[in-house]
Chains A and B, each alone.
Chain A
Amino acid sequence: MSNPVLAEKAVVIDGVAKVFNEGGDSEVAALSGIDLTVEAGEFISLIGPSGCGKSTLLRLVGDLLAPTTGEVMVFGKSAHEARLDQDYGMVFQHPGLFDWRRVLANIELPLELRGWSKDERSARSAEMLGLVRLEDFGGHYPRQLSGGMQQRVSIARALSFQPKLLLMDEPFGALDEMTREHMQLELLRIWRETQTTVVFVTHSVPESAFLSNRVVVLSPRPGRIHSVVDVDLGDRSDDTRQDPAFFEKATEIREALRAVEGNG
């Protein structure tokens, strides 16, 4: 049932609202009137104060939640079909690695579930380990690695089956500043090498400006799209962080955030 016109779009969110506990005493309108299109190959960030529904929006794209009204299409299919086809990889703030699997076996988990043969799995997991530069740690258990290394394994796992879409929910939120900046560069390198589309949830202004092609600023209660900031900084490097154009974009995003927080 894939739609050829929409197939070039990675994600199309059309008139989506999400209400939790609808009709109950604790009814919460999490999202309202969301329209957003993500082009294939784009890196897009969702930013906003807590309670703006940015994580909820990400879960709607991943079909981990169903919208109350409206429609979410992923590569021309419904989000539900896209999930069943495993069209996307997911990375959370919590690395979510399984203690009982060694690093390689963690990366191979989605491949196992797809019924890949042992040889295919080993070849791919070794390749992924190289991509996140952890070649020497394949035989370790997750708890023997640092938080940053665990998160890299989690990214390798999400990319192992080469999804065209990567959904990331504050993946670097628990990392220290140095590791975080390093991981941002690694992510951009991986993004360029794999040509994946990324939807990235963050609460950090510099992070969103540094990583994204576009930054979507959400306002809270109920979550709405306040504005979309285009960020054109070319190829990023550590020098980009000192670039006046980078500061300018960060300021623009920050001002948009102030405006929505003022309303909240």
Chain B
Amino acid sequence: MIFWRLRGRASVLGPPIAVGVAGLLLWEAVVKGFGIREFLLPRPTSILEEVVDNWPVLRHAIWETGWIAVSGLLIGIMAGVALAFLTTRFRTLEEGLTPLAVVVNATPIVALAPIFNAWFGITGTLSNQSVVIAVVFFPVFINTSRGLTAVHPDEIELMHSYAASNWTIFREVRVPNALPFFANSLRLVAPLSVIAAIVAEYFGGPQDRIGNVITSNVAFVRYDVAWAAIGVASALGLGLFAIALLVERASMPWRSAMAEGEFTTTPGRE
């Protein structure tokens, strides 16, 4: 049983890993072969060296930025899900709040980072967390709402035929129906939270976070260290994406049972 599972996972993970390794090798070869100067584009191995050399600084930066991204991510997810629940339950609330949420989303949120800095101060984490929360909230809200409402009408009639209450229908039909939609938004916002945190850090704040490590090293023409910081940032984003996938698999055993190795990105049911 476990063997089959591992084999299944290996066949899913195999191709992307192969492509990734090939890409890094090509990068390495191109920089070397064409004599591209390292301050323009360092080789992957040099970046790795810088990661090792600057590990204490980078480790601390991952910790700081990771905290901002993850805490903002969790709060944004909870806010998105909570509002989706409320708007599904109370239709009038939906009519009032959804347009507002759309307006908030249409605002380039990272552009608000300097404003948030002025509001919440640049020494603490609240300002950058607010940017992450604002970025994460909307995709989670919209997707979860859609999943809660996109229920086949027959399924609602069926529940009515059992004299089920709205709360029972919500619990037994709407919530599980929304899970694939929610999981889809999770895959989107997990790496997005890291991007939002780093861009917010570009606008100032303590110097020990990934965004500031990148900007300050670029200012001192230490591109290799900046690249090392970018490397760990993308590792952080990938890590969060992987966690999102694991949560998806664990929360919806019926999906993996149905797919039998087939990979599907379409949410919901027809």
Point out residues on A near B: beta carbons under 8 Å: 59, 62, 64, 83-86, 88-90, 92-94, 96, 98-102, 109-110, 113, 141, 143-144, 167
Number of B interface residues, CB 8 Å?
21
- Check A83 against B154 for contact (C-beta < 8 Å): no
Chain B nearest CB: distance from A123 CB in Å?
20
Residues of A within 8 Å of B60, CB to CB, are none
Q: Which 4 A-B pairs have the closest CB atoms?
A: A100-B176, A90-B161, A92-B154, A143-B258
Contact of A144 among B155, B163, B258, B269 (CB under 8 A): B258
Q: Are A96 and B258 in contact (CB under 8 A)?
A: no
Report which of A90, A93, A143 forms a contact with B158, defined as CB distance below 8 A. A90
Contact A62 B161 (CB under 8 A): yes
Instruction: Determine whether B32 belongs to the interface, using a CB cutoff of 8 Å to chain A.
Output: no
| A-B contacts at CB below 8 angstroms, number | 58
Residues B158 and A92 in contact, CB atoms below 8 Å apart: yes
B254 touches A113 (CB 8 A): no
B198 to chain A, nearest CB (A): 37
Would you call B246 an interface residue if the criterion is a C-beta within 8 Å of the partner chain's C-beta atoms? Answer: no
**Which residues of A lie under 8 Å from residue B257 when comparing CB positions?**
141, 144
**Chain B residues near A167 (CB-CB < 8 A):** 161
- The answer to whether residues A100 and B179 also contact, given A90-B161, A109-B172, A113-B162 and a CB cut-off of 8 A, is yes
Question: Residue on A with the closest CB to B160?
Answer: A64
CB-CB under 8 A from B258, the residues of chain A are 99, 141, 143-144
Q: For A100, give the chain B residue with the smallest CB separation.
A: B176
B53 at the interface (CB under 8 A from A): no
B161: chain A residues at CB < 8 Å are: 62, 64, 83, 86, 88-90, 167
Q: Tell me if B176 and A98 are in contact (CB < 8 A).
A: yes
The verdict on A90 contacting B173 (CB below 8 Å), with A100-B179, A100-B254, A113-B162 known, is no
Cβ-closest chain B residue relative to A169 = B154
Contacts of B250 in A (CB 8 A): none
